[in-house]
Chains A and B, each alone.
Chain A
């Protein structure tokens, strides 16, 4: 039998709203497979998002879901996790939502190392609002608000997460569909803040402005720029020019926020 995605999707919600060829659907499938692989129950799982194309995802998923203010997914998810530490909390959202408008909440959730999984879909642009450049639009690329090329350097979101203190950071692309679920599942099992950056394609507002003639061209680019971390170790800096590392980029064990908080409560009440 084919994989049963429908059991995790709210009845009558398909076809979804995303544009033809948008990678968010591929990521949503990966997220469903990852949640199945981890044996998550619907009643013990909360999926939280902010605003944007990628943040429509909880609307389709038949779990406890929360669609919150722009960029505030990590903040609301922190509240859920603090109130119900036994719940598995998953955030999903785009680069504009998570790392630009919500950049502050994002880095502080990383710093606290609160036990949640953040699936960050980086499509290099604010898609829903009309293709404005985001903090991860590459330098020189075109957006509706940078018609002569983006003058800003862009964030490396995985490095940002590592620098801010996330204890599990991985990256993959929408092309590498069978890696998405494995990395998200590893992130869900990890005790602490897990960031999974998925490089995504936005054919409608990013691709057509940046000389990608089709969805397939964008997918081929994702295939070309991705280099697994294990392979990159044997490559020269020249060979790695313009490439992006994929796989598990960072993993460490550090005390988790809710556990630390519970210890403080126990100590103060016992005193």
Chain B
């Protein structure tokens, strides 16, 4: 499966709440030392849920 979007993480804004990790339907994201990182980029279905629910403006979903 190929990624439907490229996820950009602005690490300086991420406060590590992990809302995006929990509610990603395809488990694209994971926590790494209190900052989110893209762990499984190919699984992204571009649903945009992580960007919508990120309270810290730290995630941008660029649809491909």
Contact = CB atoms under 8 A, between A and B. Distances in A.
Nearest to A23: B55
Interface residues of A, number: 27
A178 B23 CA distance: 14
Interface in B10-31: 12-13, 15-19, 22-23
B62 A21 contact: no
Given A3-B51, A25-B57, A26-B53, A20 B15 contact: yes
A20 B17 contact: yes
A15 B62 contact: no
Contacts, number: 66
Interface in A74-89: none
Contacts of B49: 177
Given A2-B60, A16-B57, A25-B56, 7 more contacts: A2-B51, A20-B16, A26-B55, A178-B52, A214-B18, A215-B18, A216-B22
| 7 tightest Cβ-Cβ pairs between the two chains A and B | A25-B55, A21-B17, A2-B60, A20-B15, A177-B52, A20-B17, A216-B22
Interface string B29-43: 000000000000000
Contacts of B51: 2-3
Contacts of B18: 21, 214-216
Interface of A: 1-3, 5, 9, 14-16, 18-26, 29, 174-175, 177-178, 203, 214-216, 219
Contacts of A1: 62-63
A152 B62 CA distance: 47
Contacts of A178: 52
A67 B15 CA distance: 26
A205 to B, nearest CB: 15
28 contacts: A2-B8, A2-B51, A3-B60, A9-B57, A14-B13, A15-B13, A15-B15, A16-B57, A18-B55, A18-B56, A20-B17, A21-B15, A21-B17, A21-B18, A21-B55, A23-B55, A25-B56, A25-B57, A26-B54, A29-B52, A29-B55, A29-B57, A175-B53, A177-B53, A214-B18, A215-B19, A216-B22, A219-B53
A5 B13 CA distance: 14
B45 interface: no
A24 B19 CA distance: 14
A207 B32 CA distance: 23
Contacts of A23: 55
- Chain B CB within 10 A, most for which of A2, A14, A22: A2
A21 B53 CA distance: 10
A32 to B, nearest CB: 10
Nearest to A219: B19
B3 interface: no
A179 to B, nearest CB: 10
A219 B23 contact: yes
B46 to A, nearest CB: 11
A174 B13 CA distance: 19
Contacts of B54: 25-26
